[in-house]
Structure 1
Amino acid sequence: MAAPGGVQGPVANPALWAEVRALLPAAEEGMTLALSGEVEDGILQLLRRARGLLYAQPCEAAALGRLGEILRDYSWERLNAGPWREISKAWRQVYTYGCLFAALAEVAAGRPLAPAVRLCDMGLLMGASVLDNVLARLVRVLQAQLPRAEPWAHGSVKQLQEQRLLQKVRIASAPAPLVQPEDAVPHLRCPSLERFRENYLIPGKPVVLEGITDHWPCMKKWSVDYFCQVAGCRTVPVELGSRYTDEEWSQKLMTVGDFISEYIVNENSIGYLAQHQLFDQIPELKEDIRIPDYCCLGEGEDDDITINAWFGPAGTVSPLHQDPQQNFLAQVFGRKYICLCPPQESENLYPHESQILHNTSQVDVEDPDLVKFPNFRKAALQSCVLMPGQVLFIPVQYWHYVRSLDISFSVSFWWS
């Protein structure tokens, strides 16, 4: 006789298995396994076999986990076979199904849930949505079953207390670069849509907006402790190095808790959490922010707006570069020094000649080599120190350099 929920043998958590199964179609034929492109017939056969194991009475968790691993390994090779933009969405969906089946096998077998959460995160990061974004819904159920990490779970209480004290000292005494009044980006409090459009959007002029994030829940809730508690177990990509133009710069997948322990609390080296999928991975965070009303002046819909997260220690740098869209950079906590230059000044900024870095200047803004780059002294620069609660409008193609002065979290909104 099948055990409750269709798992062979005793079920470690039948209530959880029932909640997880409720996220899926009730019957096997309802899981269509539709793909947005062509894959080998052998892969389709593996997908159907895994589906059958999932819906079998009882569910064959061990075999399901093995098939999930095979699907992930095979599709992973395809995902790394060429430039990302040339990868078929179908193979990303196969990878998602592999992560889904493997995660469900972990739950069905009653094993610890942290590996299943990581599988979901890998599918969300590298795969493509299937079954109405089932992985996002699954990971939310699984994460709710994990104990919330204490703020000091990834470091001693003393370390965290010392870090808090050090952060207070930094905020009070760390000098920010001097911004001359004639070079300062103008500040404006809650301008009307019409005023913003006529004076800044259309002419393409940067401005620091104040007061527009006062009602965002993140302004009161977010802190290093809060991220450790809400997202400590979640796997995210981290950039290692002070800036992406450095030779030693690299990327690594790690949990938010490990990132906080290694790069925020202990400050072993420079690492930065910078990615646009964080708010899709962790909806609780997305619920704490709001899309600025001024984005309605663009040509697209809310779904066309790319929301990025930027979280890291003091000292992280984004070299002088351009972005292809309008940008609102909202500062949640910490401070950032930002230097800006209009696109008309590009010839004075010495962009890299390589195609990959053509939108990035070779000049170190705060320590320019004026012998090698003499025309940089002609560049018309503006600057500001962006404080918590302030939002900087960076017009499309406007050059900008950013350095974190403190442990910092920013949210940027790219829109057209």
Structure 2
Amino acid sequence: MELDLKQIPRVKTLSKEEFLSEYFKPQKPVVIERFIEDWPAYSKWNLDYIKEVAGQKTVPLYDDRPVKHDEGFNEPHATMKMSDYVNLLKTEPTKFRIFLWNILKEVPQLQKDFTYPDFGLRLMKGLPMLFFGGYDSHTFMHYDIDLANIFHFHFEGKKQCILFPQSETKFLYKIPHSLITREDIDFANPDLEKWPALKNAKGHIAQLEHGNVLYIPEGYWHHMKYITPGFAMSLRAIARKPQNFGKAVYNILFMRHFDGVMRRIKGQKWIDWKNERAITRTHNLLFGK
């Protein structure tokens, strides 16, 4: 038995009016296949180009090790020169990923290679972020702290994306006071006997290739698995639904700070309690146990 995942609709291109009526208003994901072919980035952006323009930059790297109580929010697990990281990506599998790497701050010249698309939403122009990963690396299933609408532009290689709306949270073994699910769930090939609630979750799946744009509606859970080495850029727009905007404010102003305080007070016991609570709460809701 596998996860209940529907293929995300794919279109060649999309007008602003079509996007707003068919995908944004009903909050449905979509893959736009040929939307950015007029961007210089479409023909220029690959790993070799990134190595050329940013090779001497020191970059933060993250892997798939479990969260520990003494690690800060988004604290990197290692650092490396971008040139060395690209060489690593191209020569061997690696779990190291880069995420939330701000183009404006790190490599301003990359701004010349793309334009901010008009989807009818006000994009946060100060936050064009790059994400990199090696063969078979993956992110944990998570949703973004600000529950933003995300436009994910993929470059080089292939990547598998699994999405779930917030309505499916009760089936996903969410960790309390955090933005992730249990880290030991392999959403690309889950053990549904060990994690039976996942049988009830209804989600979406797509494979991205160079030049594809994935729209991730606000607050959607997402899991990214790199089938080959590659990278992507995300642009975002604030959550419009009042409940999502309210949850974003709560996450940013309270939740992450409360979690940080509890880590300092209780240490690893806090992490262990949260991991156990993810199971008991999910099964209590689902099975009444």
Same topology, TM > 0.5: yes
Structure 1 residues 230, 402: CA separation in 2 closer, same or farther (over 3 Å shift)?
Answer: same
2: distance between equivalents of 1:245 and 1:226? Answer: 32
* Structure 1 equivalent of residue 141 of structure 2: 320
Query: 8 Å contact 2:164–2:202 — kept in the other structure?
Result: yes
Q: Secondary structure at the match of 1:191?
A: coil
* Structure 2 equivalent of residue 288 of structure 1: 113
Query: 8 Å contact 1:327–1:412 — kept in the other structure?
Result: yes
* Structure 1 equivalent of residue 82 of structure 2: 256
1:360 equivalent to 2:186? Answer: no
* Structure 1 equivalent of residue 161 of structure 2: 338
1:168-317 maps to which residues of 2 (within 5 A)?
A: 183-239=6-62, 241=63, 243=64, 245=66, 250-261=76-87, 263-267=88-92, 269-294=94-119, 297-298=120-121, 300=122, 302-303=124-125, 306-317=127-138
**One-letter amino acid of the structure 1 residue matched with residue 35 of structure 2:** I
Kindly report the root-mean-square deviation, in angstroms, between the aligned alpha carbons of the 2 structures: 2.5
Query: 8 Å contact 1:212–1:292 — kept in the other structure?
Result: no
Q: Secondary structure at the match of 1:306?
A: coil
1:83-141 Cα offsets, whole Å, 9 max, x none, are xxxxxxxxxxxxxxxxxxxxxxxxxxxxxxxxxxxxxxxxxxxxxxxxxxxxxxxxxxx
Q: CA deviation at 1:251?
A: 2.4
1:3-402 maps to which residues of 2 (within 5 A)?
A: 183-239=6-62, 241=63, 243=64, 245=66, 250-261=76-87, 263-267=88-92, 269-294=94-119, 297-298=120-121, 300=122, 302-303=124-125, 306-323=127-144, 324-353=147-176, 355=177, 358-362=178-182, 363-402=185-224
Query: 8 Å contact 1:236–1:278 — kept in the other structure?
Result: no
How does the TM-score come out when normalised to structure 1? Answer: 0.51
1: distance between equivalents of 2:56 and 2:108? Answer: 14
Query: 8 Å contact 1:326–1:395 — kept in the other structure?
Result: yes
Structure 1 residues 194, 238: CA separation in 2 closer, same or farther (over 3 Å shift)?
Answer: same
1:223-251 Cα offsets, whole Å, 9 max, x none, are 22222222111222222x2x364669952
* Count of matched residue positions in the alignment of Structure 1 and Structure 2: 228
Q: CA deviation at 1:268?
A: 6.8
**One-letter amino acid of the structure 1 residue matched with residue 179 of structure 2:** N
Q: Secondary structure at the match of 1:200?
A: helix
Structure 1 residues 302, 250: CA separation in 2 closer, same or farther (over 3 Å shift)?
Answer: closer
Query: 8 Å contact 2:47–2:230 — kept in the other structure?
Result: no
2: distance between equivalents of 1:334 and 1:279? Answer: 24
Higher relative CO (Cα under 8 Å, sequence separation at least 6) belongs to 2
Over the matched positions of the two proteins, sequence identity in percent amounts to 27
Q: Secondary structure at the match of 1:273?
A: strand
2: distance between equivalents of 1:237 and 1:213? Answer: 28
Deviating more after overlay: 387-396 vs 220-229: 220-229
Q: Secondary structure at the match of 1:403?
A: strand
2: distance between equivalents of 1:244 and 1:205? Answer: 31
Q: Secondary structure at the match of 1:350?
A: coil
Unpaired runs of 5+ residues, structure 1, are 1-177
2: distance between equivalents of 1:385 and 1:252? Answer: 28
**One-letter amino acid of the structure 1 residue matched with residue 181 of structure 2:** S
1:280-319 Cα offsets, whole Å, 9 max, x none, are 221122221222221xx23x4653x521101221111012
1: distance between equivalents of 2:111 and 2:11? Answer: 26
How does the TM-score come out when normalised to structure 2? Answer: 0.71
1: distance between equivalents of 2:118 and 2:142? Answer: 26
1: distance between equivalents of 2:28 and 2:123? Answer: 23
Query: 8 Å contact 1:179–1:383 — kept in the other structure?
Result: no
**One-letter amino acid of the structure 2 residue matched with residue 345 of structure 1:** E
Q: CA deviation at 1:179?
A: 11
Pick the structure with greater CA Rg: 1
